[in-house]
Amino acid sequence: MDMNPFSPTPPDWAEKATHAVPFCCPTCQASPQVATQVWLNRRAPVFLEGFSRRKWQEFYLCECETAWWGWSNDRETPEWLRERNARRDAAENN
Ligand SMILES: [Zn+2]
């Protein structure tokens, strides 16, 4: 079995993956951290309009055997937003 997430060829399980929003398993809501396999479609990045960065499809095979994918930019909160949330949380604790 090819476990390389950067493999140029998509694994068989990725072909029946469904687009999941939000960024977790659509069946059991597990986070991608518990996925048993991952594959990144780095061959076909999408350039975000107005941004100097790219997004790509990330495929996950969940431990419940559901195959799903999400856009890489849906995964992480941007740094500036994390900092703003942290400041707001700190203000609320005072
Ligand atoms: Zn699952």
Q: pLDDT tens across 45-82, in order?
A: 677 666 556 788 999 999 999 999 999 888 866 566 67
Residue 72 lies in a domain: yes
For residue 35, how far is its CA from the centre of ligand 1 (angstroms)?
8
User: Strand, coil or helix: what is 54?
Assistant: strand
CA R_g for the chain: 16
Per-residue pLDDT averaged across 12-31, rounded? 95
Q: Residue 37 C-alpha to ligand 1 middle, in angstroms?
A: 12
CA–CA separation, 22 and 73 (whole Å): 11
**Ligand 1 centre from 79 Cα, in Å?**
28
| Domain-embedded: residue 42 | yes
At residue 1, does pLDDT exceed 50?
no
Domain count, the chain: 1
Asked if residues 45 and 55 have their Cβ atoms less than 8 Å apart, the reply is yes
67 C-alpha to ligand 1 centroid (Å): 8
Q: What pLDDT is attached to residue 81?
A: 66
Give the Å distance between the CA of 77 and the centre of ligand 1.
22
Q: Is residue 6 part of a domain?
A: no
Domain residue limits at 33: 12-93
Note whether residue 1 is domain-resident: no
40 falls within a domain: yes
